[in-house]
Structure 1
Amino acid sequence: MNFVLIGDSGHGKVIADCIQAGGHHLIAKLDDKYLSSFQEGPYKKGPISMIKGLLAEDIKVIISIGHNAIRQKIVDRLQLSIEYYGTVIHPSAIISPTAKIGYGTVIMPNVVINADSVIENHVILNTGCVIEHDCTIQNFAHISPGAVLTGGVLVQEGTQIGARSSVNPTMQIGKWSMIGAGSAVINDIPDNVTAVGVPAKIIKERRSLND
C-alpha cells in the first residue's frame, strides 16, 4: 500500500515510521508550509492542494497532525471520499480480533486494544496506550502515550487524554475536552473543559478548540 501524509511535522515522522514498519510505502508529505512542489529523497513534498493529483486506487491518505481540531478542519476542507483514507497500525500493536478500527486512524507502537472496543475515524492512539475492553473512542480523539483506559470508557469526539493518564471503568468524557498528563479520571467529564490532577478536576472551560 502507498500512503500520502497531510502534515509534515514531528507527528508525521512517527507515522512515517509506522507505515514503513508495516511494510508499506510513503510516497508524499504535503503541508501548506511548502509553496511549491519538490522532491526530497524518496518523497514528493508540496502544498496540500497537490493531493488531487496523487489520488489513485492504490493510494491511501492519513492526516498526520496531532492537533485534533486542525485534523478535523483538514478533513472537512479536503472532502475526500472515505475510501481514500487508510489506517496505519504499527506491527507491535496488540489488537483484539473483536475490536473495530475506523478509517484515517493511526495506531502507534505497543498500543493494546482489547475485546469489543470501537475506535472510530481519524483517531490517534499514541505510543504504548492501553484501551481496555468495551471502550469507545470517537472521531478525532487522541489518546496520548502511556494513557490507560480501563473497561467500558467512552471518549467522545475531539477529546485528548494526556500522557500517562488513567480513566476508571465506565467513565464518560465529553466532546472536545482535554485531560491533563498524569491525571486520574474517576468521575464523568463534560464537553469542552480541561481537567487535570489526581483525581481529575475541571480547571477551565474551553471556549475555543484551540484552548
Structure 2
Amino acid sequence: MQIRDAAVASAMFAVPAAAAQAVIAYTGLEIAEPLAGKAICSLAFIRYADGDLGPYHEFAVAFLVRPPGTPSPAGALGRLRGMRDVGAFIHWLPVNQEFTLECGRSIWGFPKEIADIPMDLAGRVKRCAVRFGGRTAIEIAVRPGAPMPGGAGAPKVDAYSCLDGVTRRTPWTLTPSDVRMRPGGAKVTLGDHPVAEELRSLGLDRARALSSSTVGHLAMSFDPAEEVFA
C-alpha cells in the first residue's frame, strides 16, 4: 500500500515505563527503556493528501517497543544499543474516514476508530484535536524547529498493532522531506473523554516534550502484516 503525499507533526515524551507497560499489557510486547524506568510515547497527527486509501486525517498514540523475543538489555550501554532495533507499537489510531477505518482494521489490525479530527498544518504552529460527539480527548500544538539535512528521519520501521487479541507486525518504509526538529516545542491539553484519562495516567498532561518535529512531505509504503502473537 502506497502513501504518496502526507504531512505530519509529532512530539515525543518520556513517560514512566511501568505505566506505559500497563497500558500495552494486552499486546504481549515489552516497552523499550532508553533510560531505566522511562519509556517513549509519541503523539502524531497526519494529513494524508494522496494515497491508496484516499485523503483523510489521523491521530496516533505510539510507544517504542522491543522486538518480540529479545532479552531485556542490561545496563545503560545495553539499553542504548537496544534502541537501534526498536519498533513502534500503535496503541490508538483515530481517523476521520470510513474507508481507511475498514482497511486499517481488516488488513493490518490497526486500532482505528472514527473521530472528528480538525487540524491545521498550514499555520506557523501546527494544531490538532480529537473529539468524539463533541467531547475532546486531546488537543496538541507543535511549533516547528530547525530544518534537518536531507534524508533525516527513520527510513524503515516495524509498526506493531493489536486488535481482537492478535498482535501483528507491519514493516513500513518512509521517505520524508522538509523535516524540521527541535527540543520541546509541543503543548498537550487533555479533555474529559475516557481516552484522556488513560493519557493522564502517563503524565502527558504535565510532561514536557523531549522533542517535536514536522514533516512537510512524507511518502510511505506498507508491507503485509505478519502475526506475532495470537
* TM bracket (short chain): under 0.3
Higher relative contact order (CA 8 A, sep 6+): 2
TM-score (norm 1): 0.27
